[in-house]
Structure 1
């Protein structure tokens, strides 16, 4: 999935593989490997690409279809469900867990 997104983003920004490689500090052939999915981009390069294109890393990886990186930050302020071991936890459900963690960490200092 990431190969299609990277190709789409590169073309939308009218960049060649060589130009993009120069922008992120890798060889054209290395970047070509990302688009061919014969190489996986390391996290530091994914972050650079996300910033360059003003999208989230999740969008590049195909974890979301919304390219706006700011949407994810906004959603953190809502009643987001946090998955844990198959359960969906609301912020209210996490409050007691946070209190326990504060007690545990306070006792270890």
Structure 2
């Protein structure tokens, strides 16, 4: 992995949360504050950039296309488990997925 993100010229953060509750809290706070691009705009942008349909992503998340459409429109908040699954599927960090950072690098996997 490069030392800097080509898009934002900052070093990627390798923060590892001590617990799932800590990760959930960070996710909730940033979703409520609406920092950066709104998460629903980001999940739509990533899906379209990668050439997937709403139905294909809905199938991966085991939800209906209408439910996934509601996630992308912001009518319904995407559950944390689904956001984590999308981040893994797209190979990006959860921070990138919810619009906290523009560096898409995923965090290193813990053992």
- The equivalent residue for 2:40 is 3
- The equivalent residue for 2:98 is 61
Structure 2 gaps of 5+ residues are 1-37
Larger radius of gyration: 1
User: How many residue pairs were aligned?
Assistant: 72
Partner SS for 1:69 = coil
**Greater strand percent: which structure?**
1
Are residues 1:40 and 2:71 paired? no
Runs of 4+ in 1 over 3 A off after TM superposition: none
**Greater helix percent: which structure?**
1
Following superposition, the deviation at residue 50 of structure 1 comes to 0.2
Q: Which has the higher contact order (CA 8 A, sep 6+)?
A: 2
Tell me the TM-score normalized by structure 2.
Answer: 0.61
- State the superposition RMSD in angstroms: 1.5
